[in-house]
Amino acid sequence: MGLHGDAMNQDFLSSSKKWDWETPASDFDKINKVFGFRLDAAATKENSKCPEFITPEMDAFTIEWEPSPWFLNPPWGKEYTDLTGRTMLHWIYRIKEQVLGKHNAGVLLCAARTDTQWWQEASSFCDYVLFPDHRIAYEDRLRDKPSQPTFPSCYIIYYPLDPRQVFKLKNIGLLVKRV
């Protein structure tokens, strides 16, 4: 395919006109029962899933992600990058600061694009990866029905799990421990 074809494919994959896809409540509730999230690290007042949240105006890149554990479904896509200059790799480096530098535990919901640089980086310092047993249909408050993405999602877990949590997560999908 070559560089030209790869660039075209990346443009196609990042062509969404919307970048703030909301985590469906049903999917969030399943994983929240395991972790008891206290902070939504990238949310709006309208779509936050946690009692405390960081809005775009607050800027998740400049404030600490506390209290822990946090949940992150970051904004992504070409429009988001064009608007902010930030890519998924920027979010991964910010997660790394929080996890390794601040010892804040949390979970990242993202596309399961295991062949990308950002995904390889994100999984290089995690504890587990959970691949749900279904395709997550992200919500859009401007539409009546959820949007079915063209890609699978996963939860990258930056949190040591106890046996009870492992058991519960295995009921949600394929849980892989990083060794």
pLDDT digits (tens, 9 = 90+) for 110-141: 999 999 999 999 999 999 999 999 888 766 55
* Range 38-58 burial, b when 16+ CB lie within 10 A, else e: bbbbbbeeebbbbeebbeeee
Helix 25-35 with 163-170: angle, nearest 10 deg: 160
Paired with 156 in beta bridges are 108, 129
Return the pLDDT at 142.
53
Q: How confident is the model at residue 150 (pLDDT cuts 50, 70, 90)?
A: low
How many alpha carbons lie under 13 Å from residue 33 in its C-beta half-sphere? 12
Residue whose tokens read 């999230």: 37
| pLDDT given at position 125 | 97
Torsion, Cα of 89, 95, 100, 105 (10° steps): -150
The answer on pLDDT for 3 being more than 90 is no
pLDDT (tens digit, 9 = 90+) per residue, 19-49?
Answer: 566 788 899 999 999 999 999 999 988 889 9
**Structure-token match 């996963």, residue found:** 154
| Structural domains in the chain, sorted by start | 19-177 (3.40.50)
Q: What's the confidence (pLDDT) of residue 82?
A: 81
**What pLDDT, on a 0 to 100 scale, did the predictor assign at position 15?**
36
Other C-beta atoms closer than 10 Å to the C-beta of 176 total 14
Residue-wise pLDDT for 80-107, tens only, equals 778 888 999 999 999 999 999 888 999 9
Structure-token match 């939860």, residue found: 155
Distance, first Cα to last Cα, the chain:
34
Q: CA angle 96-166-172, nearest 5°?
A: 90
Q: What confidence tier does 153 reach under pLDDT thresholds 50, 70, 90?
A: very high
**What pLDDT shows up at residue 75?**
86
Mean pLDDT of 157-171: 97
Residue 157 to residue 105: CA distance in whole angstroms = 8
Q: Which pLDDT value is given to residue 78?
A: 77
